[in-house]
Amino acid sequence: AQKVTQAQTEISVVEKEDVTLDCVYETRDTTYYLFWYKQPPSGELVFLIRRNSFDEQNEISGRYSWNFQKSTSSFNFTITASQVVDSAVYFCALRSGYSTLTFGKGTMLLVSP
């Protein structure tokens, strides 16, 4: 069985603050894929990143960065210098083996001006 835990239900920050969204996963498979999605108030799910279990390199894309640590089964997401447009629900997801995607419960990020 696979599981994704996003312990932070809601985070509120002020614009320009840095914020980290936590994601902890569980799987018995050695090959797996981790994802982050953004869901703005409009409802669509926007793909942000995919990381496979063989690649522990951290990734940076503009103001976004991801820290993948197999030793702690974590795949955390940091937004640097947050903006109001970053306000959304962020989902971490896992696929391992031949299973379907399993989503965490999501973290609602509210960025105030």
Partner 1 sequence: SAVISQKPSRDICQRGTSLTIQCQVDSQVTMMFWYRQQPGQSLTLIATANQGSEATYESGFVIDKFPISRPNLTFSTLTVSNMSPEDSSIYLCSVEQGTLNTEAFFGQGTRLTVV
Closest distance of CB 95 from partner 1, Å: 7
35 vs 76, beta carbon nearer partner 1:
35
85 vs 113, beta carbon nearer partner 1:
85
31 vs 72, beta carbon nearer partner 1:
31
Distance CA 24, CA 32 (A): 14
Closest distance of CB 70 from partner 1, Å: 17
Distance CA 25, CA 5 (A): 6
80 vs 87, beta carbon nearer partner 1:
87
Which parts of this chain interact with partner 1 (CB under 8 A)?
33, 35, 37, 42-45, 47, 50, 52, 91, 93, 95, 100-101, 103-106
Q: What angle do CA 96, 98, 102 make, to 5 degrees?
A: 50
Closest distance of CB 4 from partner 1, Å: 9
Of 92, 47, 51, 93, give the one whose Cα is nearest residue 68. 51
Closest distance of CB 16 from partner 1, Å: 28
Of 39, 4, 19, 3, give the one whose Cα is nearest residue 79. 19
Contact 112, 85 (CB under 8 A): no
